[in-house]
Amino acid sequence: MVPGGLHNRLMNYPDDIDVVWLACDRDGQVAAFVTGGCAPIPRAVLETPGWDEAESSCIGLTELCDAQSLLRNGDPGSFLSIARRGLHVYDWQDVHRVRSDESHAYELVAKPDAPCHFEDLPEPLARLALTFRFDASAFAQSPAIDPRTVAPCEQGRLC
């Protein structure tokens, strides 16, 4: 999480800080996108006050369901914690790969057994989730998503 709204002061990408942003799909389901400190973030998200508090706000929600990890390696704990609140979780796994193995997309790493819709969320989180929509995608059927294909984005210097 970006401390103290750092993006508001610097007005640029939160380089080297692993942050979470939210989006909706065509069905109104919500996903959390974990940047790994360099992945693309839509400009519309970066311009939205409070976007950088999405992770802590999600963790503050009540667990709604069980969730499945799709990780091949690593500890799925933090991803499952978010998914148990009804959100799909995508991560920028490329930060752990050599260049030749990169996917250049956020990859689905955890999915809820009972996905929530934006209208199920408290207003501040619903507003954040509606800031960016993947109108042509359904998270339940999308193993990888690249927001750069649908909107202008900013990304870290190491991606």
22-32 confidence digits (pLDDT tens): 999 999 999 99
The mean pLDDT of 49-77, rounded to a whole number, is: 91
Question: Is the residue at 140 inside a domain?
Answer: yes
Q: What is the 3-state secondary structure (H, E, C) of 38-73?
A: CCCEEHHHHCCCCHHHHHHHHHCCCCCCCEEECCCC
Total of domains in the chain: 1
Question: Is the residue at 126 inside a domain?
Answer: yes
Question: Is the residue at 159 inside a domain?
Answer: no
Q: Tell me which H or E stretch contains 130.
A: helix 123-130
pLDDT band of residue 15 (cuts 50, 70, 90) is confident
CA angle 152, 145, 7 (to 5 degrees): 45
Q: How far apart are CA 121 and CA 128, in angstroms?
A: 10
Q: Residue 17: what pLDDT?
A: 80
Least confident of 46-50, 51-55, 78-82, 101-105: 101-105
Question: Is the residue at 38 inside a domain?
Answer: yes
pLDDT band of residue 103 (cuts 50, 70, 90) is low
Question: Is the residue at 134 inside a domain?
Answer: yes
Q: Residue 3: what pLDDT?
A: 43
Task: Provide the residue range defining the domain that includes 95.
Answer: 3-154
Question: Is the residue at 54 inside a domain?
Answer: yes
